[in-house]
DNA sequence: TTGAAAGCGCTACCAT
DNA sequence: ATGGTAGCGCTTTCAA
């Protein structure tokens, strides 16, 4: 492997000049630049990442901490990861993939050993133990999620509270007055993943504001979980005409159950889902949905990290506005039915 | 951040001694070791990864090249990634995540700049353009898949040919004589992802060996794709009593279709799926399936990379034996029905 | 069993 | 506009 010295000799310049051609940090005459670039190309020179990191204290790598268990929402995780890697590359950075199960130790390991310039974390919990650790790192971090005390740490996420309000106001606008929420699994609430709470709070607030009768219930995965969740909802509120589903996994078995029990969508019951676009459209009935903009969130997380890295200002809490797309699962209820 | 020199001073030894305590590459007296370790702990010393890489020419990082498009089998990809990261950590390595769309350039970039010690690639195509590039790298690589000419490059995968044989022999053992294959989407064949071919070849060979009447067809995603695939299969072969499904995405719509057309599983038609265990069990009818052992394959890929890195011998083609698990989707056909 | 010191390949400061 | 060079923090010979 050729080094910067080899290039310098081949081009008849000093190593520092080669370095400056590479970094553009000082003016170089067109002629010199051309000679250097020719030498670089000819020798197939690639700067040694470690040497660079050592000399410059920058690695051009960011850590992405992902929940690699299978129990969580796999497609959404993949979309975040894709977006983060793609965005990082567009800023000339690479991505080191860490798993959440390494916990605080993993963060400290990569940060203290200077493997990364910044960290992006997903699947944050309400009182996530990693947050105090992040504060102690010299590298900045960006969270995808919104834990309780995130003072001084940048957070990016969908505005789940607004998403709930949007779902309800869409249904209310179609004349629905009795609405059930099929929530995430109890495990999600237990883990204190904050989006569940934020959605629920928004849902309850909006119910009051819009004067709706609503009922909410978590939903275990699988056909049995869906069955019992629906039974609970129906038991607690008569004449439900619409469901909001904030549980991607439950979506499919729920539609099956509704079908099996003869409740047609949207004739007998309307449904608004919160899930990625492609999941909504892949269902037997294309679902009116609020998108989880994983791509936008991931990209924004990287942008935020980059701003932090070069000392520019950032908004420390960035909640993306939800957008509801109408498809085939919601129906207008005529006044006589209300 | 404390350096190795700080630790050396604190422990009253030379920096090299600290280094040897860390690496264990030469004997250190118990007493000295203790002093050094105390100093390391007290100062919170973590060796600088870049400095280490520069001095030792080892990064302790491996690249994982994944297809981060959403069109491919997302859960399986995640399982591979999880396994690779976990296994890598167990060997004290980290994982740099690359996307397939960077192509050859991405591989060369991370390899030439010495960011990684080895590479693991998934989603290989039959005549993958990246293979010649891999051969030129100084770092070893391991493929998850089996492209046409993989001379000199280690490959790890499920033995899809054997998987097809296993599926057919299971069905034949249950008395089935007319069997259809619901294959991957045409896009997969077009992309020349080799597992499709290997499965198909195994399927056709086994049909002959077992004296079966079989018919095969690719299957577009979605309800419509499944419908037309089944129509083709039925048209080409009367009285199909069993299906082999090598298409995870098609599984769900296929079961819906069979249900809708009154073909009960397993009473009217038996099904063997090739998919991850949890996908098989999540279906309305728990499916007899051949597992895609993503975890094992990923782990083995890392082990192979590690062996390569420390110059140990490896098998250059490692095809894992399939294992079929009986569940509720296959039925014995009595002799009178044959 | 331990120490000294020469690099590893690059960046960035100080010169000119 | 360019060159010289002192580190960056570690590993690893060579010596003792």
A91-100 per-position pLDDT tens digit: 999 999 999 9
User: What share of chain A in percent tops pLDDT 70?
Assistant: 98
Measured between beta carbons, the chain A residues lying within 8 angstroms of B69 are 82
pLDDT at A117: 98
* B49·A50 Cβ contact <8 A: yes
Task: With CA atoms as reference, report the closest residue to B9 among B57, B42, B48.
Answer: B42
3-class secondary-structure state, position B260: helix
Provide the CB-side half-sphere exposure for A283 (13 A, CA).
27
Cβ–Cβ pairs < 8 A, chains A and B: 132
Q: What CA–CA distance (Å, rounded) separates B300 from A152?
A: 42
Q: Are A64 and A84 in contact (CB under 8 A)?
A: yes
Strand ranges, E, within chain B: 61-66, 94-99, 118-122, 141-144, 154-158, 178-182, 213-217, 242-245, 270-274, 288-290, 317-320, 324-325
Q: Which residues of chain B have pLDDT under 70?
A: 70-72, 335-338
* B85·A99 Cβ contact <8 A: yes
Strand order in the sheet with B94-99: A317-320, A154-158, A141-144, A118-122, A61-66, A94-99, B94-99, B61-66, B118-122, B141-144, B154-158, B317-320
Q: What CA–CA distance (Å, rounded) separates B261 from B241?
A: 14
Q: Are B144 and B297 in contact (CB under 8 A)?
A: yes
- Confidence grade of residue A338 (pLDDT, cut at 50, 70, 90): very low
What residue is closest to D2 (Cα–C1')? A17
- Distance in Å, residue B22 CA to nucleotide C2 C1': 15
Task: With CA atoms as reference, report the closest residue to A278 among B70, B230, B292.
Answer: B70
Q: What CA–CA distance (Å, rounded) separates A65 from A103?
A: 9
pLDDT at A192: 80
- Tokens 């034949």 sit on residue: B172
Give the bases of strand D that a protein CB approaches within 7 Å.
Answer: 1-5, 7-13
Scanning every strand, the nucleotide with its C1' closest to B54's CA turns out to be C8
Choice among A30-44, A62-76, B220-234 with the minimum mean pLDDT: A62-76
Measured between beta carbons, the chain A residues lying within 8 angstroms of B75 are 70, 74
Q: What CA–CA distance (Å, rounded) separates A48 from A35?
A: 21
Strand C footprint, Cβ within 7 Å: A 1, 3-5, 15-16, 18-20, 22-23, 25, 45-48, 51-52, 54-56; B 12-17, 20, 26-29, 31-33, 51, 54-55
- Distance in Å, residue A15 CA to nucleotide D1 C1': 14
* B94·A96 Cβ contact <8 A: yes
What residue is closest to D3 (Cα–C1')? A14
Element (H, E) at A234: helix A222-236
Q: What CA–CA distance (Å, rounded) separates A38 from A53?
A: 25
Query: Is some CB atom of chain B closer than 8 A to the CB atom of A89?
Result: yes
* A68·B86 Cβ contact <8 A: yes
DSSP class of residue B178 equals: E
Tell me: pLDDT of A198 over 60.
yes
Q: At what angle do helices B294-309 and B74-90 cross, to 10 degrees?
A: 40
Q: Are A235 and A202 in contact (CB under 8 A)?
A: no
Q: What CA–CA distance (Å, rounded) separates B98 from B106?
A: 7
Which of A48, A68, A97 is best to mutate for the B interface (most B CBs within 10 A)?
A97
Taking only the tens place, the pLDDT of each residue in A305-315 is: 999 999 999 99
Bond before A233 cis per omega within 30 degrees: no
| Ordered domains of chain B (ranges, CATH) | 4-56 (1.10.260.40), 61-158+294-321 (3.40.50.2300), 160-292 (3.40.50.2300)
Q: What CA–CA distance (Å, rounded) separates B174 from B195?
A: 26
Tell me: pLDDT of A303 over 60.
yes
Q: Are A97 and B85 in contact (CB under 8 A)?
A: yes
Residue B169: CB atoms within 10 Å: 15
pLDDT at B191: 81
- Tokens 């495990």 sit on residue: A187
Scanning every strand, the nucleotide with its C1' closest to B17's CA turns out to be C2
Q: What share of chain A is helix, strand, coil (3-state, %, to 5)?
A: 50, 15, 35
Mean pLDDT, to the nearest integer, of A140-158? 97
Q: Are A267 and A334 in contact (CB under 8 A)?
A: no
Q: What CA–CA distance (Å, rounded) separates B206 from A322?
A: 53
Q: Are A292 and A276 in contact (CB under 8 A)?
A: yes
Distance from CA of B64 to the nearest CA of A (A): 9
Q: What CA–CA distance (Å, rounded) separates B2 from B36?
A: 13
pLDDT at B23: 96
- Distance in Å, residue B59 CA to nucleotide C16 C1': 39
Radius of gyration of chain B (CA): 25
Q: What CA–CA distance (Å, rounded) separates B169 from A68?
A: 35
- Confidence grade of residue A190 (pLDDT, cut at 50, 70, 90): confident
Query: Is some CB atom of chain B closer than 8 A to the CB atom of A48?
Result: yes
């Amino acid at each position: 492997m050729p080094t910067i010295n080899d290039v310098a000799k081949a081009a008849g310049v000093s190593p520092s000049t080669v370095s400056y051609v590479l970094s553009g940090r000082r003016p170089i005459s067109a002629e010199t630049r051309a000679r250097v670039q020719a030498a670089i190309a000819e020798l197939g020179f690639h700067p040694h990442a470690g040497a660079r990191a050592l000399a410059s204290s920058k690695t051009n790598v960011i850590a992405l901490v992902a929940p690699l268990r299978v129990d969580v929402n796999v497609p959404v995780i993949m979309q975040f990861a894709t977006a983060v890697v793609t965005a990082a590359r567009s800023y000339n950075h690479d991505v080191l993939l860490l798993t959440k199960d390494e916990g605080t130790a993993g963060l400290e390991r990569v940060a203290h050993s200077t493997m990364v310039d910044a960290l992006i974390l997903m699947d944050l919990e309400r009182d996530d133990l990693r947050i105090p650790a992040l504060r102690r790192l010299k590298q900045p971090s960006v969270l995808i999620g919104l834990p309780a005390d995130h003072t001084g740490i940048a957070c990016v996420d969908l505005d789940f509270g607004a998403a709930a309000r949007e779902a309800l106001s869409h249904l209310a606008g179609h004349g629905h007055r009795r609405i059930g929420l099929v929530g995430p699994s109890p495990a999600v609430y237990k883990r204190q993943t904050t989006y569940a709470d934020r959605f629920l709070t928004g849902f309850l607030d909006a119910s009051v504001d819009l004067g709706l009768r609503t009922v909410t219930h978590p939903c275990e995965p699988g056909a049995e979980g869906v069955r019992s969740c629906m039974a609970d909802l129906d038991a607690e509120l008569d004449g439900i005409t619409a469901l909001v589903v904030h549980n991607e996994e439950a979506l499919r078995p729920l539609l099956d159950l509704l079908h099996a029990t003869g409740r047609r969508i949207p004739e007998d019951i309307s449904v608004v889902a919160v899930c990625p676009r492609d999941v909504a459209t892949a269902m037997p009935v294309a679902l009116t949905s609020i998108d989880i903009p994983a791509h936008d969130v991931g990209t924004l997380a990287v942008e935020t990290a980059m701003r932090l890295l070069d000392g520019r200002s950032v908004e420390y809490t960035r909640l993306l506005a939800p957008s509801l797309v109408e498809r085939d699962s919601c129906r207008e209820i005529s006044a006589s039915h209300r």
